[in-house]
Chain A
Amino acid sequence: MCANRADLVEDLNRLMAEEAEACLRYFQMRFRLRGPGRVAAEAFFEDALRETLEHADAIAQQIRSLGHIPRLRIDLSLDGGPMRPAEALAEALDVEQQALDAYKEFLPRTASHPTLEKFIHAQIAVETEHVQEILTIAPAGAPLKLVDKPGS
């Protein structure tokens, strides 16, 4: 399935918004964490927010290489009370899973753009890792197994 350049860019803008929004979500989520495992979960979200920002940036570079300027449209208001780390990770899992699904759905549209196709393949691999990582530390319904980093 091929797509014209404008449609591709529009899809890339959406993917970038997913990543940028996830970054902001993780940024705020760190401050809601309470209870056992908080320090380790904070560290997890710090890494996650850095990585999502890097992903957003990488997508923006792809948009630029297609000759366009990224358009970031986010409609977000983040609040909410204290949150247990397991609950926060469950939300992160939803967000990461959606990002993974979005990349997978976008992949067939990149068939005539080898560089972009390679990039999306790489993103799928990374997002799959993220989902697996969250599933490993917080399987559905199981107690959180985060371990605080030494010295934290």
Chain B
Amino acid sequence: METWKEFEANELTHSAAHHLLAIYDVGLKYGGWARVSDIARDLNITRGSVSINLRALKKRGWVETDAHRLVKLTSTGLQAAKSVMAKRVILKTFISDILGVPRTQAEIDSCKIEHLISQATGERLALFLRFLSGDTRATHDLIPRFRRFRGDCPKNRTCDVCKGQCLMDELKRAI
């Protein structure tokens, strides 16, 4: 499948990821059980929307409900929620601590992609963070050196990264 179609067919949608995280957060105080009204408040949407969205999560076996319409993550749902949370932390750390993007922006960007990156990419990123925070002199110097790096693009607008078309110029033109 082409990558963009894979993106569209992503089994864990942005909305689903947020519902799982909300159920997890709200349920923390109540042994994992959450009320639809609290989930709705947490997500700032209506209870009707939550109940409709929960139908899809139930179909996938990620949540269960009881006779009082309380909601809880199943073990698969909990696993999915924790995986999203882990990816968010990894991405946020990478974007803010390594790339030096302000924390608020790092929070927004990591939230946008946390549910989209693969397990493999998440693991490699985590490994990369561990590598960079390692005790060797080379990696210790790397981040400060990167922070100081102000690589102006060459006049001919091509380099080893761009290979013919200046990517920085494209980014500056982006809407």
Contact = CB atoms under 8 A, between A and B. Distances in A.
Interface string A6-19: 00000000100110
Interface in B49-65: 49-52, 54-55
A75 interface: yes
A76 B47 contact: no
A105 B37 contact: yes
Nearest to B50: A98
B36 interface: yes
Given A21-B49, A97-B51, 17 more contacts: A17-B46, A18-B46, A18-B47, A21-B48, A25-B48, A90-B55, A94-B48, A94-B52, A94-B54, A94-B55, A95-B52, A98-B36, A98-B50, A99-B47, A101-B47, A101-B69, A105-B37
Interface of A: 14, 17-18, 21-22, 25, 73-76, 90-91, 94-95, 97-99, 101-102, 105
B157 to A, nearest CB: 40
B44 A98 contact: no
Interface residues of B, number: 14
Contacts of B37: 101-102, 105
Nearest to A94: B51
A98 B51 contact: yes
Nearest to A93: B51
A94 B48 CA distance: 7
Contact of B51 (A14, A74, A76, A95): A95
